[in-house]
Structure 1
Amino acid sequence: MIESNKIQIENIYYMLCYSWDRLEYLDRNYVGQLQEKNILNLLTLVFQKEVNLIIKKGLYREYVVEKEECSVIKGKIGFNESLSLIGKRSGKLVCEYDDMSYNVQLNRIIKTTIINILKVKEVAKNDKKVLKASLMYFSDINKITLTENVFKNIKYNKINKKYNFVINICELINNNLLLSKDGKDAEFYNFIEDDKKMSLLFESFVRNFYKTELHKVKVYRENINWRLDGLAKEYLPIMQTDISLEWKDEDRKIIIDTKYYREAMKSYRGSEKLRTANLYQLFSYLKNIEMKSEKDRHVDGILLYPKVDKELNLNYSMEDHNISIYTVNLNCKWQDIHSRLLEIVN
């Protein structure tokens, strides 16, 4: 595990912006407004600021289907539902009609997230005060149970795209909230301390960084076929790169495998050695991809680690491939991280 104090909070914010492809938010000075720099305070501050901006611009609304008992026909008649009313001679029918409403999924997610944040004791009183004031604008909006599918099924358009960033924040907050059994209290799980979660963020950040910063370079995840003969290929695991960089105007290609460890090296009999499994994985990519195209015969490989104890700039060669092991320091100024990531591929 990499200690959280080894990563500057502002760099976590930058990594999230790249990972979500929301670069227009990079220059917003949220970190400078923090009294105490930790990830919970940062996410809460960003969330309440973005929610207030949405409120000022006006909450999104759309047509939703409503059903109610009506004395006057409105929209479509629900004949099956109306049969019981006809029998009671109530003089009413069940009608189904479209109504322009603020009670839509995006607003429900925000309201539920506000309520969940207010349950966390560690959230600053001033932030809770601001969030409680925001909650009044969502009084006619229903709460929902936030699941993975709720966020997966969101669809954005030209009108509601302003919600994209705040919904990303909602998802991150709720994925790291541990609600009590009675639902009255919540505890925030510091995902910076979780190697698996940070590994996914680190990989996504680096891939989207190169997509943004490298022009005339195709940046993607690539499936590689095994160079094995045999009929039972369905049992072979999927071989997929973290990041493939392919220069469009040059005969050049790089495969990058990101790794998130406390230490890039392992101690063996009193000396430091590179992690064997990481090297084998990269070797496998390079050897199995060789037959894919002429460019792939000479593809280079990079193992990229966050720097913890020492900086690595190691370079080797294997037949037609160059192999490099690099680190990037996530506890330095953002501009230094930016420059370092460009340096290792250029």
Structure 2
Amino acid sequence: MMTIPDVTRVDVTPFDPRSATPEQRLAVGQLLADAFAFANPDDPPLLPQHEAVNLGQLNPDERADHVVVWDGGRALAWGRIGYDLKQNTHAASVRLYVHPQARRRGLGTRVWAALRVVAEREGRRVVMAGTSSRSPAGEAFARSLGAEAALPNRQSQLDLSALDEELLARWQIRPDGDPYRLHVWRTIPDMYLDRMADMMMVMNTAPRGDLDVEDWTITPGMIRAWDAMLDESGEVRWLMSVEDTRSGQLDAFTEVFWQPERATLLYQGATGVRPMARGLGLGKWVKAAMLDHVRAACPGTRFVRTNNASVNEAMLGINVALGFTEWATFMEWQLRLQ
């Protein structure tokens, strides 16, 4: 059982993952792994060493400030506020964790107070964060701060052993003379990089609820930075795209993320179809083809998990038809500081 010091005698201290010792990074990684295991006891555990690597990863124009509450060499609480220097410069995103055995002692409030100072220093008027129904304390904390529930999401899970094989095959049948071609990539080839950046920006058409955010611009440099982060952390990303061979334009894509050390669980990332190409079965095609692909390319995978905005009826419909069932709910919150 963890012995918790008097919270009035502990400090919330700045933490820079780039200059911290390996032991300090690993201690924060252990905190994140412990918090995850508490909320998701049936999942494969997070690896503290991987979480330690992820702490210092940033997009090209992103900056982040971290704070930690230390008890000797243990991390009792950690917070991070990230903000972009060129886009959505009014907003910031926050992550905040308190060790399960150190909760209800005011540590979260103290960490948030330190992060708020950063938000105000950087002129951010909106701060955003997410909570899962698997950890009800997060929602209660967000409400206590006066945050507004801005975008509800459904977290869904698919058991690959229960896939409808006939449906999977049917969704991958294309008409005679079909101009569309399917690509499968671990790393996007240079010749497609600009086109893929343009394709990814279709996610700006996804529902945002009441979130106070503007469209994001995706650049080739950002994609290559994400590739480098994945390589550093040891995570596998598979991406499928659909090319219109008449124009060379990419009109649909989907991506998944997988760690061999947590092989049973695969995460479905973004799936998007250009508005002008919707209704042609491209979304069903890439989703079905990806599920076929990962069964061979990601050995040991049993479950696929994904998030969808609750109002995104089109994508929810595809997922439900594939056999995804509700696993949890996830709420995106925003707190207006000005």
> What TM-score do you get using the length of structure 1 for normalisation?
0.24
Greater gyration radius: 1
**Which protein has the bigger helix share?**
1
Q: Which has the higher contact order (CA 8 A, sep 6+)?
A: 2
**Which protein has the bigger strand share?**
2
> What TM-score do you get using the length of structure 2 for normalisation?
0.25
